[in-house]
Structure 1
């Protein structure tokens, strides 16, 4: 018989925040290619989703480190379900007949520009983030066992570097190949990978604080020693 599931005070809040960040990263920032001027590098293109997306990996690291791989897996599937619903609803709203008038005609054009590619972005994100997130969680969980719970900074940065490599390698090619110039797709993907990984490094002090806070408040510090690491389940 399975042991009763523990009640966690903060897990649901983190899961909700994770889903919100995932939706924002895909439907607000992912479609925009922006630029930033850096010393020695000059003008570097990047996707607007960089403002949101690394936070989802931040939450993923926290969920795996404190609650375990299974709880992060449930959060990932919840995020995917939200993406599917949002993408379907975006297409339904776009296809609704437009009321007469110049304002609504311009508004419809704006909707099609912003959300017309949402199905492709959502599918690309679901596949790439599904792969990258589970790789990130798996690497972190295994490194926690190998290091016996030490060197949290090395585990969060190392797992994010691997997970983001998988994620960035898939997402921009699947979402924007043929829409953006190929060289721009590659440049943005590389810039995204570097910026996301750098974000994890800079966020390390905050990661330590949040992880220690949750471990203390939840009285939880899970080690995935006997965990079934299949991604194809939601049960924790």
Structure 2
């Protein structure tokens, strides 16, 4: 459905009927894949880059995890808050399954002659209260950060009348990633890292995530505009129930 000038038709979220979208499932799959892989591969590794004699310390996952926020922005901007909410819950349950599967596989006794258990635990974490603490912190931070990000973007779209997409993508990320970092790092590492290191990593990672969002703004514009043209709609969340505690569209 498009307007006479070929632009996607601006409609309220409540006017959308089921099965109307051609690309929603692909965007949803991309979101969950990036989210899970970011937590599997980069969550536990601290990296450092020397810049002018100063070591910039950051979690390795920060290089790819922000892509999930970019995809989250695309979901909310193109398909509306309610459908983004369903995807966030899907990602949340995927993280739960990841945590359960990882704990189970790590806890399985190694076969005789297989000497890689220590290396396996070094990558995925040994089963214990420390690992559980990080997992719970990660899930809580993801849940809060993603919902805040989606809510702020949807509200800003109404306030701006759909103009200035960059203000919504960057502004929602500043707030959403702020919630994510403020929840995750203290819950996961307070008392484990020094307060100075905790604050440094928290602020650095937040700044890098927001910076990534800004750098990827042209890509976000390209994907959002392309999807809106192909789907033929531009969704506004007028009258949307913004509670996160439901999955109904």
TM-score w.r.t. structure 1 length? Answer: 0.93
2:4 match: none
Q: Deviations over 1:76-132 (max 9, x none)?
A: 11111111111111111112122112xx23x11122222226543332121111111
Relative contact order: is structure 1 or structure 2 higher (C-alpha 8 Å, sep ≥ 6)? 2
* Count of residue correspondences: 231
Residues 44 and 118 of structure 1: is their aligned pair in 2 closer, same or farther, counting only changes over 3 Å?
A: same
1:10, distance to aligned residue in structure 2 (A) = 1.1
Matches within 5 A, 1:51-130: 51-101=63-113, 104-105=114-115, 107-115=116-124, 116=126, 118-130=131-143
Question: What's the C-alpha RMSD, in Å, of the aligned pairs?
Answer: 1.6
| 2:161 aligned to which of 138, 145, 148 | 148
| 1:37 aligned to which of 50, 71, 80 | 50
1:183, distance to aligned residue in structure 2 (A) = 2.0
Structure 1 gaps, min length 5: none
Structure 1 SS opposite 2:135: helix
1:51, distance to aligned residue in structure 2 (A) = 1.7
CA contact 1:21–1:55 (8 Å) conserved in 2: yes
2:26 match: 13
More helix by share: 1
1:212 match: 225
Residues in 2 aligned to 1:85 and 1:110: alpha-carbon distance in whole angstroms: 22
TM-score w.r.t. structure 2 length? Answer: 0.88
Structure 2 gaps, min length 5: 1-14
Residues in 2 aligned to 1:163 and 1:98: alpha-carbon distance in whole angstroms: 41
Question: Which runs of structure 1 show a deviation greater than 6 angstroms over 4 or more consecutive aligned residues?
Answer: none
